[in-house]
A and B are shown apart, each in its own frame.
Chain A
Amino acid sequence: MQQSSAPGAAPVAGYFGPFGGRFVAETLVPALDELARARETIVATEAFQAEWRGLLANYVGRPTPLGEAKRLARAIDPTGRSLARLWLKREDLCHTGAHKINNALGQVLLAKKMGKTRVIAETGAGQHGVATATACALFGLPCEVYMGSEDVARQAPNVGRMRLLGAKVVPVDSGSKTLKDAMNDALRDWVTHVQSTYYCIGSAAGPHPYPELVAEFQTVIGVEARAQALLAQGALPDAVVACIGGGSNAIGIFRPFLSDAGVALFGVEAAGEGIATGRHAATLGQGRVGVLHGSKSYVLCDDGGQVLEAHSISAGLDYPGVGPEHSWLKDNGRASYLSATDDEALAAVALVARTEGILVALETAHAFARVGDVARLLAAKLGRPVSVVVGLSGRGDKDLATLLARLLPDSSPGGGAS
């Protein structure tokens, strides 16, 4: 066919195996081209890298620690037969309380260098919104954050933080009123104001070059964790476990281990009220290949191609899509994807709090919920207790209302539990 061999018809860069691509309105294509060029001409330069890494060191507080969780390890595996050592990569200690700031600073710095005068973002749990609002305050750029109205209600502290940081929070009332719909409205804003506006995507998802750009900014997590594990225990870990919504913290911690064949990689999705109920966000486990928000990846959708509403107690995982690189890691077998229910995540929050004195985010708690299973699986395979690194992607202060209602139902708003 003449038309398929014509210039301009060749597949663009930005595929991970068969996943990825650039499925957007034509209006946005030149902006994505501009961003892809900026990745090469700006992000790749030593000057940009030095400025961004300087911010990570002196503003974010990197490197974050890799701490050993001894009491949690014994609580998960009292005999020590499967779990030898458990390490926590403490992204909760980043300024703003989650890994999201690594990417937001990188992208907002890029927006500034590209001469953009306005930044927009979507957010689920509010962590990416807070991170973007923070970066915009630091660089003096106006910031608008789209957030599903259900998430505005359940993550109220982060809404307040964004407003204090000078950002405008735009509640989104359409569809499921969560992250998916926030991203729809952010894309509508971008298509309308594309000349002036930089769209700061928070997950390793969306059209090319976002999945690559976000992964590059988050890879700092895995680079540090790998070196820290080698230093702390003289060997690489046997497994790395991280939670997955769109998958930015997971891809950030996985990437530096991809060529370490002895390190098993596990992503944990949200099983919501249980896979069998249909009310979940286990996109990789239960979805099919489709196209949502600009890339080809696994998607929760029906036979007619209509995207389904996801469900998770965790706003950050409540998304029916996933980044394209994770779809590829699933299909090529390099990573395995598990899931944890709302109840399991809640139990994990309580366990980590009481054994380690760390209040983790509900998103992060999904990863902790599967650490015991991962350790048993690998220990049986290897015939020895294993070491595991968990990506502790964020802290749980934002979830306080949900946590108190579900974990301490007898506590009154002003009082503590008895």
Chain B
Amino acid sequence: MSRIDRIFARDAKVLVAYLCVGDPSVEESVELARTCLRAGADVLELGVPFSDPTADGPVIARASQRAIANGGGLAATLRAARAIRAEAPDAGIVLFGYYNPLFVRGEARAAAEAAEAGVDALLVVDLPLEDGAALRKAAFERGVGTVPLLAPTSRADRVAATRQIAAGGGVPFVYYVSVTGVTGTAALQAGEAGARASELKAQIGRPVVVGFGIDSRDKARAAARQADGVVVGTALVRAIQQGPTPAARRAAVENLIRELRAGADEARTC
């Protein structure tokens, strides 16, 4: 059983927190990751900032540009992962990003470095199943999982292909992109998204989390009622961006994560 498998096996909804590593600095991202874990996040998505984040809305796109300007990138994100893993042996760590930084590094080398840094799984937003076989294999051989994505536009053929790949192992969970759009979209119908996540879980046989648009206790509760977990990304990045000092940013992150944790916990009991 992998580390993330154990997290999903607990009797609680899973809270996943996305950080754009390098915004406002790589060191502070590590500090904010600690804060997330302390406040109740179970899994960290450590975002590798990319110059052309076409699946992201303006909040994360701008954070990515700031992070790159501050020395962020694949190497810095792996450094952050190593630092977090040293202190948090049980936390789930997902390396989250776009394909080009991994491809340019070399898939085998990137997978090996991820394993060495204590990363549990890779999530590559612009690498659909068909073109991702080589990276999946490179990761799997080094004990690193890969997280497939499904979207509201995904029909039965995509779900079936995901199920086939998950059956081969190395898929700790599935990320359901709950909105047809980019990250940070406000239009989320959290309850419907959670219901769809539950259907997908039944079809694929792996835990399914809901991402895109989870920004409040209410939405976390509504989505987590039927999903295995929820992801917070844009709301967290925005909270960090709006904090004027490191202490204010830590406090904002802590408050938001505690709110979402409470929402996810309420989903279990209602």
Instruction: Write the residues of chain A forming the contact surface with B, with a CB cutoff of 8 angstroms.
Output: 1-4, 6-12, 21-31, 174-175, 180, 184, 187-188, 191-192, 194-195, 288-294, 296, 299, 301, 303-307
Contact = CB atoms under 8 A, between A and B. Distances in A.
B165 interface: yes
B151 A9 contact: no
B51 A192 contact: no
B136 A3 contact: yes
Contacts of B167: 2, 6
Interface stretch (B35-43, B101-109, B220-228): B101-109
Interface in B70-87: 73-75
* Interchain residue pairs A-B with the least CB separation, the first 4: A8-B161, A3-B168, A305-B101, A2-B168
Given A25-B151, A191-B181, A306 B68 contact: yes
16 contacts: A2-B168, A6-B168, A9-B133, A9-B164, A25-B151, A27-B152, A27-B180, A174-B65, A192-B180, A192-B185, A290-B103, A294-B126, A299-B100, A305-B103, A307-B52, A307-B100
A341 B61 CA distance: 32
A166 to B, nearest CB: 26
A290 B104 contact: yes
A294 to B, nearest CB: 8
Given A7-B161, A9-B133, A26-B148, 19 more contacts: A6-B165, A8-B158, A8-B161, A8-B165, A11-B130, A22-B131, A23-B128, A24-B126, A26-B150, A26-B154, A27-B154, A30-B158, A188-B57, A188-B182, A291-B126, A293-B52, A296-B103, A304-B74, A305-B50
A290 B50 CA distance: 13
Interface in B132-182: 133-134, 136-137, 140-141, 148-155, 157-158, 160-162, 164-165, 167-170, 177, 180-182
Interface residues of B, number: 59
Contacts of A293: 52, 54
Nearest to B75: A304
Contacts of A175: 51-52, 65
Contacts of B151: 25-27
Contact of B52 (A28, A184, A195): A184
Contacts of B169: 2-3
Nearest to B159: A8
Nearest to A186: B54
Contacts of A21: 131
A292 B154 CA distance: 23
Given A192-B182, A291-B100, A25 B75 contact: no
B127 interface: yes
Nearest to A174: B61
A3 to B, nearest CB: 3
